[in-house]
Amino acid sequence: MTNPLRIAIAGLGTVGVGVIRILVSHQQMIAARAGRPVEIVAVSASNRGRQRGVDISGYDWVDNALDFAARDDIDIIVELIGGSDGVAHALARQSLGRGKPFVTANKALIAHHGMELARIAEEQNIGLRFEAAVAGGIPIIKSLGEGLTANRLTRLYGILNGTTNYILTQMEATARDYGEILEETKLLGYLEADPSLDLDGIDAGHKLAILSMVAFGVNINFDAIYMEGIRRIKLVDIDYARELGYRIKLLGLASLSAAGLEQRVHPCLVPDSAPIAHVDDGVNAVVVDGDAVGRTFYEGRGAGEGPTASAVVADIIDIARGHHGPAFFVPAQGMQKVNLISISDRVGPYYIRLHVEEQPGVIADIAAALRDKDVSLHVMLQKGSEQDGSVYVVMVTHDTREQKLMDAMDQINALSSVIDKPLAIRIENL
């Protein structure tokens, strides 16, 4: 086929500019790999006059991206606006509904509306692609849906948010506390426009939802994913973790068993010997367990112009080649609904950090609260006093059920000698 694939791009931020750069600079190579030329016909963004570092004068400017869906001179629409609802959702529905393949880097859109959009795409027999929505520099969606398709996948976990990984890495490398590194991260432009998406684990939750749908063929409920961020991690936790032989990472973890689907995002203590413990700064990594292949490990840049735009263009090439299979590699009507396992049922060891007044009977009161809830201690560490006469007490438990530990933590928090709310971090011996 020699007719060009005519595309429209909605959103000209960092990724949109990157897509234009790749399509222009690699034009001949892409045409050879796609089997046909790929041409940008029209673009849309919120600010026409902004200087972007690429020439867009040769493309038709459209003020309202929703107009793309009705145009006969556009074959495929690339959405790089962001957000789960609003223009992005409307553009996806209208484009697919009119039979136009749709490529997006929008993890929130797919996490919240992926099943709905997949059904529309299948009804129209067209492609819906979102490789760039998860760990842009790693082709993890294709790896799960194509490279590992012969496997029954049972578990996956990974560092899915580069910003929080950068913060934790810098805390450890520079011995500076969370607040100071956070300010530096803001100045570098690493945070999402809404910082809570990064800091509270929501961004990683979006990506975990997508990976779960692709890996396990399940219809998920995003609101049921447990999400906890890194705001309460202190330098003292980084130091104690290192002393205990661990590093702290914000992980997304999902597993499917006969009991159901478990999905959670939260800080973890991971053994220093685990490969994922040494994935630092803005790098993402995903580990996948399959019954035939065993364990596989994927690592690469998860964000930024180049990695994300690379994934977007790869999806465009797929569509140019005529690939239009199910978005989640299983027909939408075949996606399973499974029992959801609550975080309160998690069983494993925990790291506990307490900040207490140094006075007689404190340790006895803490031990009594743990004993009352059947929480058994493996390690307890206590070092010198702080300048205000307080002290940090750090404990590692034996395997215990989450709900029992949380009940014990509530009881400890009620003690008059406790200065700050106790912190518990799950230990994952990966």
pLDDT tens sequence across 277-305: 999 999 999 999 999 999 999 999 988 88
In angstroms, the CA 40 to CA 60 distance is 9
pLDDT at 187: 85
pLDDT at 1: 53
Stated pTM of the model: 0.95
E strands, 131-259, where?
153-159, 226-227, 246-257
pLDDT at 194: 87
CB 102 within 8 A of CB 77: yes
Mean local confidence (pLDDT), 368-385: 91
Mean local confidence (pLDDT), 44-56: 91
Query: Percent of the chain beyond pLDDT 90?
Result: 90
Mean local confidence (pLDDT), 171-185: 94
CB 137 within 8 A of CB 279: no
Q: Which residue ranges form the domains of the chain, and what is each CATH number?
A: 5-136+323-329 (3.40.50.720), 140-302 (3.30.360.10), 344-427 (3.30.70.260)
Mean local confidence (pLDDT), 150-171: 97
CB 34 within 8 A of CB 317: yes
Q: Please name which of 210, 187, 243 lies closest in space to residue 136, comparing C-alpha atoms.
A: 210
pLDDT at 79: 98
CB 285 within 8 A of CB 162: no
User: If residue 61 lies in a helix (H) or strand (E), which one and from where to where?
Assistant: strand 60-61
| Whether residue 323 has pLDDT greater than 60 | yes
Residue 373 designated active-site: no
Of 100, 142, 207, 249, catalytic: 207
* Token pair recorded at residue 236: 């003292």
Mean local confidence (pLDDT), 339-353: 96
| Whether residue 39 has pLDDT greater than 90 | yes
* Token pair recorded at residue 399: 């395997």
Residue type at 270 in one-letter notation: V
Residue type at 385 in one-letter notation: S
Lowest mean pLDDT among 282-286, 368-372, 383-387: 383-387
Confidence class for position 2, pLDDT limits 50, 70, 90:
confident
Confidence class for position 188, pLDDT limits 50, 70, 90:
confident
Query: Percent of the chain beyond pLDDT 70?
Result: 100
pLDDT at 68: 97
Mean confidence (pLDDT) of the chain: 95
